A and B are shown apart, each in its own frame.
Chain A
Amino acid sequence: MRFIFDSNTWQEIFGSIGKNRTRTIITIIGVLWGIFIYIALSGAAKGLDNGFEEQFENVAMNSLFTWAQTTSMPYEGFKTGRPLQLKLSDVTVLENRIPEIQYIAPRNVKGVFGGSPGLIVKGTKSGSYNVYGDYPVYTKIATKKIYDGGRFINDKDIELTRKVCVIGERTQKELYEKEENPIGTFLRIDNIYFQVVGVHKFTPGGGFESDSDIYIPFTTYRKLYNTGDDVGWLTIAAYDDADVVQVEKDVKAILKSIHRVDPRDERAFGSFNLGEVFTRISGFANGLTFMSLVVGIATILAGVIGIGNILLISVKERTKELGVRRALGATPREVKAQIILESVFLTMIAGIMGIILGAITLYGINMGTEDLDFPYTNPTVPIPYVLGALVIMVVLGTLIGLIPAQRAVSIKPIDALREE
């Protein structure tokens, strides 16, 4: 141990490393490349992972949508091809019968599924925007960020069938002057005046929604567009520990029984399971992280073996030098320690350089993808990974250094000196 902390030892090692420059550089490149790949890959994988997560951060991960289609099988006297319609009463049934459901939000929209969007008029400006009829519970499933001073639709709005609306940032940009505060102002949605109560901030990843959507209370919507108890589709969020796939099956089964549809009819109700998609994507991201770990560590291993190889060759090259050192009084331990320390030192230097280079590259990639529509955010490598890689390198460096070190002392000094 004393040997390691002796400044003389390090002077010897620096001397030996510094003066065999080509050898040192080639050796370093091997490991540097390894750790660079490791850092860059796992950072990139983490970036993708973060990117995916960001895409979904506003939507409950274990949520699903379901909507009515037309039957494809005759059942209980009904012929095939019967159009189905979800009703408000379905919501209560589902809520009561499936305990895994945390939130369920019936929704309606004008302008997405074939219909024409609502005509919105504000003073002299006008435009066509999708109008959604919503319950406040919807924000539990998909977060809506509302700009300061505003709010989303609340229970009182539903109860009193208030004519209030939440507009999108783009709607605001297109219908209002720059300085004008839209909160409290009125605009005309399909000839009915609505008071604006909030402006929502657009967050990507919510399916077909956009930054120009207008939300009004569900109860107001049904009056405005005369939809009665009809529901466009249901957005359902299950509890975190629930199996979303099972919930999806249960929901469909119950809907089929309510609407008297053959239980085997797969086409009667459509659904989109965000939870399942998310599981798949996060599985993909995990796989990517794992793969980058494996590839990275394998590359580091290759690099360290490269160091061992080069040191082995250099021991052969330096047989005579080592013989001279031993003739001058170097003990086998000192010779061994010198070669192992050289190996570890080279590995460390290369490793640290690789980490720095990898970090710079990740920073560069982050800069380059910042403004692109690409799920890639904040590529980082967790500190334990970095430390782990360093530890692996030191251990491997020592182990691999043992081979040339053992070889160096296995040659008798007399044979070493005789070698020409």
Chain B
Amino acid sequence: MIEIKDLHKSYIMGKNSLHVLKGINFSVQEGELVAIMGSSGSGKSTLLNILGMLDVLDEGSYSLDNVPIKNLNETKAAQYRNKFLGFVFQSFNLINYKTALENVALPLYYQRVGRKERNVKALRYLEQVGLKEWASHLPSELSGGQKQRVAIARAMAAEPKVLLADEPTGALDSKTSYEVMDLIQKINDSGNTILIVTHEPDIANMCKRVVHLKDGVIVEDKKITQVRASQYVK
């Protein structure tokens, strides 16, 4: 699903160039649940941003679902993001003046799905994350865990090839973190490919594979036995 070869990325800050990713080779198969771990500054977010086409690579190659991702202009990148990727952010990034349902329907709007169909679909995804009754609520009326579940529903609504989650539990307490992870695991169970950036070991342990980044290179890449989050969720 994801193929990365010899990926380099540096940021130019004034006169200094900061080499963040120093040759990453990395591939993800369909249906995997991968945790990308590393301390801050290790380059994990940069990697995720490049995977999410929010940032461009300097060197190397990246292909997603056998489509080579290179030389994208903003318009093309936006279309690819819409088609291939779903994003979940640490700070949820829901649009605060839109209801939960409208938030979930937003990627469908950019896919030019008609309003009625959009809302039907969005409601179905909200139901999947267990928030059907909250459809008409604004994000400000939802708890952190609920917001993140809406964000996940939104990411899933576009039916992406890969779900990218940047510290999805970073702003949540452990109980809600497990609830969110439980949801992510269930989505993964139904065959979706998911990448999670995290620095919490217990979250990483709930994935099927853990990639450790340190100073811009992968130091460890191992498959693990998944810890099911459902056992912590009543």
Contacts and interface: CB of A to CB of B under 8 A. Distances in A.
A333 interface: yes
Contacts of A413: 54
Interface stretch (B62-70, B77-85, B221-229): B77-85
Contacts of A190: none
Interface in A79-93: none
A65 to B, nearest CB: 72
Contacts, number: 73
A213 to B, nearest CB: 73
A77 interface: no
Interface string A380-420: 00000000000000000000000000000100111001001
Q: Which of B79, B82, B93, B102 has the most CB of A within 10 A?
A: B93
Interface string B12-47: 000000000000000000000000000000000000
**DSSP class of A's interface residues: helix, strand, loop or mixed?**
helix
A15 B102 CA distance: 10
Given A15-B102, A328-B158, A333 B54 contact: no
A409 B74 contact: yes
Interface string B126-149: 000000000000000000000000
Given A8-B114, A15-B97, A15-B102, A417 B74 contact: no
Given A328-B82, A331-B74, A8 B95 contact: no
Interface residues of B, number: 31
A216 to B, nearest CB: 82
A155 interface: no
A328 B97 contact: no
B93 A324 contact: yes
B168 interface: no
A8 B78 contact: no
Interface string A57-92: 000000000000000000000000000000000000
A332 B74 contact: yes
Interface stretch (B2-10, B104-112, B194-202, B206-214): B104-112
Contacts of B55: 412, 414
Given A15-B102, A19-B98, A412-B54, A332 B93 contact: no
Contacts of B81: 326-329
A8 B109 contact: yes
A330 interface: yes
Chain A interface: which size bin?
Answer: 20 to 34
A28 B232 CA distance: 52
Contacts of A11: 115
A20 B98 CA distance: 10
A140 B117 CA distance: 77
Contacts of A12: 109
Interchain residue pairs A-B with the least CB separation, the first 8:
A329-B82, A19-B97, A329-B110, A414-B54, A331-B78, A328-B107, A331-B75, A324-B93
21 contacts: A7-B115, A8-B114, A12-B109, A15-B98, A15-B102, A20-B97, A326-B74, A327-B81, A327-B93, A328-B81, A328-B87, A328-B106, A328-B110, A328-B154, A329-B78, A329-B107, A332-B75, A332-B78, A334-B110, A412-B55, A414-B49
Given A331-B75, A332-B74, A417-B54, 19 more contacts: A7-B115, A8-B115, A15-B97, A15-B102, A19-B98, A320-B93, A324-B95, A325-B95, A327-B87, A329-B78, A329-B107, A329-B111, A331-B74, A331-B78, A332-B78, A334-B110, A414-B49, A414-B54, A417-B93
Interface of A: 7-8, 11-12, 15-16, 19-20, 320-321, 323-334, 409, 412-414, 417, 420
